[in-house]
Chains A and B, each alone.
Chain A
Amino acid sequence: MKIRAILAAATAGVLSLGLAACGGEEEPSTGPVSLRMTVWSSNEAHLKLFNEIADAYQAKNPRVTEVKFDPIPFESYTTTLTTQIAGGNGPDLAWLLENSAPDFVGSGALLPLDDTLAKADGYNAADLSPAATKLWQAGGKLFAYPFSTSPFGVFVNIDQLKAAGQQTPAELIAANQWTWEKAVAVAAASATKSGKAGLVVRDFDYKGWDNLSTVWTGWGAQAWSADGKTCGFDQQPMVDAMTFLHKAIFTDKALPGPGTTADFFAGEAAMTVTQISRASLLKEAKFGWDLVPLPTGPKGQYAVIGQAGLGALKKGKNADVAADFLAFFTNPENSAKLAAYFPPPRTSLLTADTLAKTNPLLKPEQLQKVVIDGISGGVVKPSHTGQAEIAQAVRAALDPLWKPDADIKAVLGGVCSAINPLLAK
C-alpha cells in the first residue's frame, strides 16, 4: 500500500512538472525588475564597461534594481544557455553566437526588436549596416542586435618571417602578391627556419571546421547554398580549396598537423587567421607584429566575418524591460563605448578615425583595410538551422581528410551524404 501511495505521489509530481514544461507566460509585473544577461566573456574590462552602462540605465529607470552579467564559458556557451532555457531559468538577455543564430532567430525564442528600437530616443536604427543585421533577421523582423561584427584577418609575427628571410605580407600586398599560394610558401619557409608552426587557422584545430571558411571563400566555395538546401562540400570550388589546404598541411607543412597546438599569441606561429578582436591578446607581445587582410584566392579578394548578437528572450518575465535595456545598451553613445572591444554594426562608427580611438593597438590603415572593408563586404561564417547537429556531422565526416593519403573527393562526397538529410529538415 505504501508503495502505491509513493508511486501516486511521484506520478503527481511527474505530471505537474511535465505540465510546467509547457507552461504559459507569466503576467507582466509592475514591481521591481532584475535582469540577467548571459555573456561568454569573463574579461574584467568587458564586464566593467557593461556594468557602467547598466548603472547608467538603472539611474534612469529606478524600477530596474539589478542588471546581472553572467559569464558562461565560451566552449559550452550555447549548451549551457539552452539547458537554462529548458529548465525554465533562461536569462532575460543573451549573447548569441553566429552559428546558433538561425536556431534562435527561427524558433521564436527571441522577442522582435524593431518596435522597441524605433521607439528608443535617438536610436537611429537605420544606421545599422544591412550586411551585419542580415543573419539576425527573419520575416523582415530583427531578432538580435549584432553587437560584434568581427572580420577575420591575418596576424603576422614579423620577427619570425624576417628571421626566415621572407617577404612580409605588407610587402607582398604592396607588390600585389598577397595570395594564398604565397602565404603558404612564406609560412612553410618560416616554419622550417623557426621549428615552430607556420600558419594557424585559429580555433580550427581539426574540429571547428567552420573557421576554414576563411580559406575556402577565396575559392568561391561554400558549405551549403544560400537557401541552406544544397550541400556545397562535393562541388568543385570546395574540392579545389580543400586540395590546396591538404597539400599545405601535409606536403608543405605550412600549417601544423592534426593534434598539434600552436598559439600564435604566445609566439608559437608565424601567422594566424583569426578575428581582429583578438588584437587585445597582443598587448604584451614580445615580438613585432602586423595585421593584414586575408590573402586573395583564385576568386580574388574576399572577407569573412564572425558575428555575435544580443537578443531578448521572449519567455523572460520582463521581456519588454529587457528589450528596452537592449535598446539602451546598444544606442549610439553606448555602441561607441562597446566599439573598444567589439566592432560595431553602425556605419557611422565604422570610420578609421573613430575605431582608432578605441583600438590603440591597431593602426588606422589596418582598421580601414581589415575592419571597415571587411564588415561591408564580408561573408558570414556558415550557419544553418540545427547547426550543432550539422556541425557535428561535418566534423565526423571530415576527419578522414586529415591524413596524408586522404582521398579528398571521396571524403567531401561523404560529408554531403552525411549532412544532406539534416539540410533537408
Chain B
Amino acid sequence: MSTRFWTGSRRDTLAGYLFIAPQLIGSVLFVFVPLGLVFWYSLHEWNVLADTFTFVGGENYQALADDPKLADALVATGFFSAGLVVLNLSLALLLAVLLNQRLRGTVFFRTVFFSPVVVSLVAWTIVWSFLLQDNGGINGLLELVGVDGPNWLRGEGTAMLAVIVVQVVKNVGLNMVLFLAALQGVPANLYEAATVDGATRRRQFLSITVPMISPTILLTSIITVVGSLQVFAQIAVLTQGGPGTSTTVLVYYLYQQAFQFHHFGYGATLSVLLFAIVLLLTLVQWRMRRKWVFHES
C-alpha cells in the first residue's frame, strides 16, 4: 500500500525537505525572524535607557533623507568597497598568474600569501594598528630605504588607503587560491593554438584567460563586495571612523547610531538600508553575468 503512495517524486520531495530542514528552520529562526524584527524596530523610536518604545511610522526613514552624516557614510562606503574590490581582485589575479608559472618555490609563496587568512582578524588588526603609527614599523621600514612615511592613520586619504590595504592583505589569499584553481582549469591547448596563431601573451591573457575564468571572477567579486560592506572590527580598531568621518563606512555608522548613541530605532533603519544595498548590488552583479561571463554552468 505504502509503496503506491510513495512514488519516486513524493519520496524525493519528502527526502528533499528533510535534508534541507535544519538549514531552512535555521534560516527562518536566525535570519528571517531577526530581519523582520529589525524592520519592526525601524518603525519605532526606541530609547533604551528611558525604556520607551514608541511607534513612529516612517519617521526614521524620513530621517535618512535629512541625515547629512549618512551621505558622508555612503561616500566613504563607496570608496572603501570600490577600492577594496579592485585592489583585492587585481592583486589576487596577479598573484595567481605569477604562481601559476612553472617555477621553484611557488608552494612557499602560496603559503606566504595565504597565511594572513588563518591569522585571527583581531590579532591581525591590532598588529597593524601598531605598525601604522607615525613611529611604527611601516615608517621604520620606509626610513631604512630613505623614505619619510606619512602619518598613515591620521591623514584623510592615507587612513582609507591603510584600512583597505590591511583588509586586502588579510584576505587576498582566498581569492588568489580560487583564481589559481581556475587558471589551472584552463585547457593548455587553447594557449598552444593561440601561440601558433601568433597571439601575444597579453592578447592571450585578455582573450583566453579572462573569459575562461570569468565565472570565478564573478563569484569572487560577489563575495568580496558583500564582505566589503560588512567590515567592522578593522575600522573599530584602526581608525574609529576618523580622521574626521573619512572612514566612517555604513556598518560603522550603524554601529555608532545604535550602540554608541543609543538610537536603536534609527540604527535598525540603517540596517534595513544596508540590507537593501547589499541585495541590490548582488542582483546587479548577478544580472551582469549574462553580459560578460563566458560560460554558465
A interface residues (Cβ-Cβ under 8 A, vs B): 6, 10-11, 13-15, 17-18, 21-22, 78-79, 82-83, 85-86, 103-104, 107-109, 206-207, 257-261, 315, 386, 388-389, 392, 395-397, 399-400, 402
Nearest-neighbor residue (CB-CB) of A261 within chain B: B133
Q: Is the CB of B134 within 8 A of A259?
A: yes
B96: interface (CB < 8 Å):
no
Q: How far is the CB of B269 from chain A (nearest CB, A)?
A: 15
A-contact bits for B45-79, CB 8 A (1 contact / 0 none): 01111111100000000000000000000000000
Known interface pairs A11-B36, A86-B264, A399-B242. Does A392 touch B256 (Cβ–Cβ under 8 Å)?
Answer: yes
Taking the complex as formed, is B154 at the interface, i.e. its CB lies under 8 A from any CB of chain A? yes
Q: Does B100 contact A (CB under 8 A)?
A: no
Given contacts A206-B154, A259-B134, A315-B51, contact A396 B260 (CB under 8 A): no
Q: Assuming A6-B28, A109-B51, A388-B260, is B40 touching A18 (CB within 8 A)?
A: yes
Complex Cα spacing A165 to B131, Å? 33
**A258 pairs with B154, CB closer than 8 A:** yes
Alpha-carbon gap, A250 to B240, bound state (A): 24
Contact B243 A10 (CB under 8 A): no
**Is B26 an interface position by the 8 A CB rule?**
no
Contacts of B243 in A (CB 8 A): 396, 399, 402
Once bound together, how far apart are the Cα atoms of A257 and B40, in whole Å? Answer: 46
**A100 (CB) vs chain B CBs: closest residue:** B49
The distance from the CB of A268 to the nearest CB of chain B, in whole angstroms, is 10
Q: Give complex CA distance A419, B38 in Å.
A: 29
B153-181 near A? 1/0 per residue, CB < 8 Å: 11000000000000000000000000000
| Residues in B whose Cβ lies below 8 Å from that of A15 | 40
- Whether the Cβ atoms of B53 and A258 lie closer than 8 Å is no
Asked if residues B244 and A399 are in contact (CB atoms below 8 Å), the reply is yes
| CB<8 Å pairs between A and B, sample of 23 | A10-B28, A15-B40, A17-B37, A21-B41, A21-B53, A22-B51, A22-B52, A78-B260, A85-B49, A107-B49, A108-B49, A108-B50, A259-B134, A259-B135, A259-B152, A260-B135, A261-B133, A315-B51, A388-B260, A388-B262, A396-B241, A396-B243, A399-B154
How many positions in chain B have a CB within 8 Å of any CB in the partner chain?
36
The chain B residue with its CB closest to the CB of A197 is B135
List the 5 closest A-B pairs by CB distance, nearest first. Answer: A107-B49, A259-B134, A22-B53, A399-B243, A389-B261
Q: B285 on the interface (CB 8 Å rule)?
A: no
Query: Is the pair A103, B37 in contact by a Cβ cutoff of 8 Å?
Result: no
**Chain A: minimal CB distance from B141 (Å):** 16
| A189 to B196 Cα, complex, angstroms | 74
Q: B259 interface residue, CB < 8 Å from A? A: yes
**Which one, B40, B48, B245, contacts A85 given CB within 8 A?**
B48
- CB-based contact A10/B49 at 8 Å: no
**Contact (A388, B261) CB under 8 Å given A14-B36, A396-B244, A396-B245:** yes
Q: Is B32 close to A, CB under 8 A?
A: yes
| Contacting pair B259 A257 (CB below 8 A) | no
Q: Is A13 touching B135 in the complex (CB atoms < 8 A)?
A: no
16 further A-B contacts with Cβ under 8 Å, apart from A108-B49, A261-B135, are A10-B32, A14-B37, A18-B40, A78-B260, A85-B48, A103-B49, A108-B51, A257-B151, A259-B152, A260-B134, A260-B135, A389-B260, A392-B256, A396-B241, A397-B244, A399-B242
Q: In the complex, which residues of chain B have a beta carbon less than 8 angstroms from the beta carbon of A206? A: 154
User: Closest CB-CB distance, A258 to chain B, in whole Å?
Assistant: 4
Summed over the interface, the residue pairs from A and B with CB atoms below 8 Å come to a total of 97
User: Please, how many angstroms separate the alpha-carbon atoms of A257 and B150 in the complex?
Assistant: 12
A96 smallest CB distance to B (angstroms): 11
CA distance A394 to B239 in the complex (A): 15
Query: Smallest CB–CB gap between A27 and chain B, Å?
Result: 17
**Separation in Å of the B233 CB from the closest CB of chain A?**
12
Q: What mask results when residues 99 to 132 of chain B are scored 1 for a CB within 8 Å of chain A, else 0?
A: 0000000000000000000000000000000001
Question: How distant is B44 from chain A, measured CB to nearest CB, in Å?
Answer: 8
Say yes or no: A257 contacts B51, CB within 8 Å.
Answer: no
Q: Please measure, in the bound complex, the distance between the C-alpha atom of A103 and the C-alpha atom of B261, giving whole angstroms.
A: 10
CA distance A397 to B153 in the complex (A): 16
What residues of chain A lie closer than 8 Å to B37, measured between beta carbons? 14, 17-18
Q: Which residues of B contact A107 (CB under 8 A)?
A: 47, 49-50
Partner of A386, one of B133, B152, B261: B261
Contact between A82 and B32, CB atoms less than 8 A apart: no
User: Is B242 a contact partner of A207 (Cβ separation < 8 A)?
Assistant: yes
- Does B281 sit within 8 A of A, measured CB to CB? no
The CA-CA distance from A108 to B260 in the complex, in Å, is: 18
Give B72's nearest chain A residue, CB to CB.
A396
- Interface readout for B76-109 with A: 1 if CB under 8 Å, 0 if not? 0000000000000000000000000000000000
Is B21's beta carbon under 8 Å from chain A? no
B33 at the interface (CB under 8 A from A): yes
In the docked arrangement, what's the CA distance between A85 and B262, Å?
11
Chain B residue at minimum C-beta to C-beta distance from A9: B28
* Contact A82 B40, beta carbon cutoff 8 Å: no
Q: Of A6, A21, A83, A260, which is within 8 A of B259 by CB?
A: A83
Contact of B46 among A21, A109, A207 (CB under 8 A): A21
Contacts of A78 in B (CB 8 A): 260
Chain A residues near B36 (CB-CB < 8 A):
10-11, 13-14
Q: Which of B28, B48, B151, B241 makes the CB contact (< 8 A) with A82?
A: B48
Residue in A14, A15, A17, A388 whose Cβ sees the most chain B Cβ within 10 Å: A14
A residues near B50, Cβ cutoff 8 Å: 107-109
Measured between beta carbons, the chain A residues less than 8 angstroms from B261 are 386, 388-389, 392
A395 touching B242, Cβ below 8 Å:
yes
CB <8 Å contact, B240 and A207: yes
Residues of A within 8 A of B46 (CB): 21, 86
Would you call B259 and A79 a contact (CB within 8 A)? Answer: yes
**Bound CA–CA A392/B260 (angstroms):** 9
In the bound complex, residues from chain A placing their C-beta under 8 Å from that of B154 are: 206, 258-259, 399, 402
Could you tell me the distance between the alpha carbons of A388 and B261 in the complex, rounded to whole angstroms?
A: 6
With contact pairs A21-B53, A107-B47, A108-B50 given, residues A258 and B134 touching in the complex (Cβ less than 8 Å): yes
Which residues in B have their C-beta under 8 angstroms from that of A259? 132-135, 151-154
Cβ-closest chain A residue relative to B43: A18
Q: Is the CB of A257 within 8 A of B134?
A: yes
A86 CA / B264 CA spacing, docked (Å): 9
Q: What is the CA–CA distance of A388 and B255 in the complex, to the nearest angstrom?
A: 12
Write the chain B residue with the least CB distance to A22: B53
> How many Å from the CB of B42 to the closest CB on chain A?
11
Least Cβ distance of B264 to chain A in Å?
Answer: 6
- Are the C-beta atoms of B40 and A14 separated by less than 8 Å? yes
